[in-house]
Amino acid sequence: MHFDAVSGRYRRDDVRFGQFDYWFAFRHPTTWVFLDFARANGAMYLDEDRGRVGYLVVDGAIAAEQVGASPGNQAPTSMVERGWPAWEKAPDQVEQRVIEERVIELLRWEEGDRWAEVGYDVATGLAVRIASPTETQRLTDLSFDREVDASLFALPARRIEAWRGGPAYVVEDMDGLGRFSPSWQPESGPGGLYFNGPLDASLDDALAWARARTDRILLRRTNDRSYTQL
């Protein structure tokens, strides 16, 4: 990794799920920010003295926070952090292009009707483009180090007390003996947090924990194939 901070725009065009478009920012070692274009909704995962803390941002205010939070499997995290991976198969095509005044090396693999393409920023090693027949993911409008807007990492001054929202899941343990584990997974814009509730709880206790955080509760018992919204 040849930089300490980077920010830009992430865009995914998917034939099945539509389009996703938002701002991201990264600062070494593990700070991540994902916000909509108004910077009013999303999530921030900041390195602090108490560890990495996740903040859910709703309408320009902090709605929830969690010590030890992870950004999860957000596409920009892998595109920024993984650098130049070792591919088992050499690409079938390699070419360089200049995109947004940056030299991009495009690698393409083909097998019958299937193909995949990855574009790397030569200067930094970022994967700035990943494409296949069903989707295209891109990092654009990139800024690095001192060019990164520091305000992207600044927490909102306003807080929403006792905010409620997002789904909570109540799942029966695998042994099917009537014990349950709840979780709360609030989302805002392109970001979210994940809170585990008490393990091995009674159904009443698991539901009470979930209802203290949201009105949207989904229940799944051991033999159920899907969740039931309560």
Q: Would you write out the chain's pLDDT as a tens digit for each of its 230 residues?
A: 578 999 999 999 998 888 999 999 999 999 999 999 999 999 999 999 999 999 999 999 999 999 999 888 788 998 898 755 556 788 899 999 998 889 999 999 998 888 989 999 998 889 999 999 999 999 999 999 999 999 999 999 999 999 999 999 999 998 878 899 999 999 999 999 999 999 999 999 999 999 999 999 999 999 898 999 99
What does pTM read for this prediction?
0.88
Instruction: Measure the CA–CA gap between 142 and 6, rounded to whole angstroms.
Output: 7
CB-facing half-sphere around the CA of 101: CA atoms within 13 A: 3
Cβ contacts of 25 within 8 Å, gap of 6 or more: 5, 6, 7, 31, 32, 33, 148, 149, 152, 153
Instruction: Measure the CA–CA gap between 125 and 2, rounded to whole angstroms.
Output: 8
Facing residues of 69 across strands? Answer: none
